[in-house]
Amino acid sequence: MIRFTQIMPVSLHTINREMHERCALCRIRSYSFCRALGEGKLKGFTSISAEKIYTDKQNIFLQNENSDSLYNITEGNIKIYQLLSDGRIQIIGFLYPGDFFGSYSKKKYNYSAESIGKTKVCIFKKDLLDAYLEKNMELAKELLNMTSHELMLAQDRIGVLGKLNANERMAKFVINISQQRSRIGWQDNPVSLPMTRQDIADYLGLTLETVSREITKLKTSKLIKVLNSKQIYLLDKARLLSLCH
Amino acid sequence: MIRFTQIMPVSLHTINREMHERCALCRIRSYSFCRALGEGKLKGFTSISAEKIYTDKQNIFLQNENSDSLYNITEGNIKIYQLLSDGRIQIIGFLYPGDFFGSYSKKKYNYSAESIGKTKVCIFKKDLLDAYLEKNMELAKELLNMTSHELMLAQDRIGVLGKLNANERMAKFVINISQQRSRIGWQDNPVSLPMTRQDIADYLGLTLETVSREITKLKTSKLIKVLNSKQIYLLDKARLLSLCH
DNA sequence: ATGAACAATTGATATAGGTCAATTCTAATA
DNA sequence: TATTAGAATTGACCTATATCAATTGTTCAT
């Protein structure tokens, strides 16, 4: 089992504090508000969310199941992926605290979601959320903003997979992780890669051997320093950035 | 200049009729309502949109420009694409009547948009739309639904570019176009490809030579019939579908 | 109808990244 | 501490697709 507390150079306390500042519907309300909302403790509001805890490698939901919930990560990481009929996997994304996943619309999930390490999520049932949105335009707008943001990220990934070579994909990958960490208030340089090489490969549309070779290439060209297989230090962000275009 | 009236086996009249039934905020209001709204002719509503007409290959906006509008196609097609610093192009999508593009949030456009053939769009200024959303929750929800749908499509494309080979990408491409046409009420079988081979290549993350070869492969294996370079007939949808996984 | 300009096809060759296999590293358990 | 299983690296070779180049097809203006 992968434990973030082992590989991340920040204390669990720090992480939790960060969470309180930005979690769930973070840009609107404080985490405590969201939580209270979830537990139905705020008078005037009904309960629209429930919290759930997962251990490593548990499925939150599977592709093609009927979708009825939107999830928000409050702790840990999630990977979302699509499975082809012949067993090939495409990882759509690695998600961080504050990220949403699942489906707002009531159809089918178009990817599966699995926890990486111990993970807490807030679950918003579509019906309840829907009813709540009626009363809270600010929330609706925020949800729209977040979905637009996700869309932008997905479109970026289309660019990566369509046009960048293995070198550039790898560079973009570490840069993106670094930026993502910084965005949620974690230190952005010694960057941890909690996922396996196979996972990275399935994310970047490469094989694990190519990922491994590209990492050593970045190492030998002094762009990164490999602290251990799950933790790397970015030595030359400028050059890495220029590789991503 | 590419003219749809030449390559599509439906009359312009038919197209326009279809447009009236589904355009702009089609799933909520009729096109005429939307148009009236745009022109400020409906009492009780302020004007939130303006119509604009483009000829072939005109830029609607460029990547990294400040974004202030959301666009809806009412006639014609749009391609949206990202440009890498070294000139490589990744086409994010080919859009059809009824599709939205641009940006809801007021930041920068993360792709450029260009007309294919004569194209009409409805322009929704972010500020006006935003104000209007306040008064119209139905619209806000619909916008959220549409954005979620787009996100789903983008995630599908991540799967295509990450895991499918040239054969499978090509098969998926023609199947998708067929389904898209059917979705907006056009005949779904002789399928027209109004874009160039280079455009298809830039969309699928291949080269134009590979696209050309794959088309001839589909032809020789009796999966499609090439009516002319811009129009193909799907002979065996079942096998094409199985190629897409 | 003719020619110019561009789009698409086809062929020959090169190469990035995949595949298969052997080796080394790491972490967990006895 | 030794043992083992899984993860990561490295090497040798192969294949799908890119690249470069020549040919054919199509559209539009004259």
pLDDT digits (tens, 9 = 90+) for B5-58: 222 222 222 223 333 333 333 333 334 334 444 444 433 444 556 778 898 889
Do A218 and A172 fall within a single domain?
yes
Q: Does B204 touch chain A (CB under 8 A)?
A: yes
pLDDT digits (tens, 9 = 90+) for A141-150: 888 888 898 9
**Residue A42 maps to a domain:** yes
**Residue B107 maps to a domain:** yes
Q: Which nucleotides of D are covered by protein (CB under 7 A)?
A: 7-12, 16-21, 26-28
At residue A205's C-alpha, the angle toward residues A212 and B194, to 5°, is 150
**Residue A157 maps to a domain:** no
Do A39 and A107 fall within a single domain?
yes
Kindly state the DSSP code that residue B67 receives in the 8-state scheme. Answer: P
Domain that holds residue A63: 4-137
Of B134, B145, B158, the CB nearest to A154: B158
Do A196 and A112 fall within a single domain?
no
Q: Predicted ipTM?
A: 0.86
Q: What is the mean pLDDT of chain B?
A: 80
**Residue A153 maps to a domain:** no
Residue B47, pLDDT score: 54
Please report which confidence band the pLDDT of residue A72 belongs to, taking 50, 70 and 90 as the band edges. confident
User: Rounded to 5 degrees, what are φ and ψ at A38?
Assistant: -60, -35
Do A186 and A124 fall within a single domain?
no
Q: Which of B136, B155, B189 corresponds to the end of one domain?
A: B136
Do B124 and B168 fall within a single domain?
no
Residue B119, pLDDT score: 87
Do B16 and B131 fall within a single domain?
yes
Average pLDDT, integer, range A105-111: 89
Instruction: Measure A105 CA to nearest chain B CA, in Å.
Output: 6
Q: Which two three-digit tokens encode residue A122?
A: 């807030």
Question: B158–A161: do the CB atoms touch at under 8 Å?
Answer: yes
Weakest-pLDDT range from A83-92, A139-148, B91-100, B236-245: A139-148
Chain A environment of B205 (Cβ under 8 Å):
161-163
Residue ranges in chain A assigned as alpha helix (H) = 4-7, 12-22, 31-38, 126-135, 137-163, 166-183, 197-204, 208-220, 237-244
pLDDT at A22 over 60: no
Please report which confidence band the pLDDT of residue B181 belongs to, taking 50, 70 and 90 as the band edges. confident
**Residue B235 maps to a domain:** yes
Average pLDDT, integer, range B118-144: 82
CATH for A231: 1.10.10.10
The total of structural domains in chain B comes to 2
**Residue B60 maps to a domain:** yes
Do B128 and B181 fall within a single domain?
no
Do A214 and A131 fall within a single domain?
no
Do A133 and A180 fall within a single domain?
no
CB atoms closer than 10 angstroms to residue B222: 10
CATH for B14: 2.60.120.10
Q: Does B137 touch chain A (CB under 8 A)?
A: yes
Please report which confidence band the pLDDT of residue A31 belongs to, taking 50, 70 and 90 as the band edges. very low
Q: Which of A120, A137, A154 corresponds to the end of one domain?
A: A137
Do B29 and B66 fall within a single domain?
yes
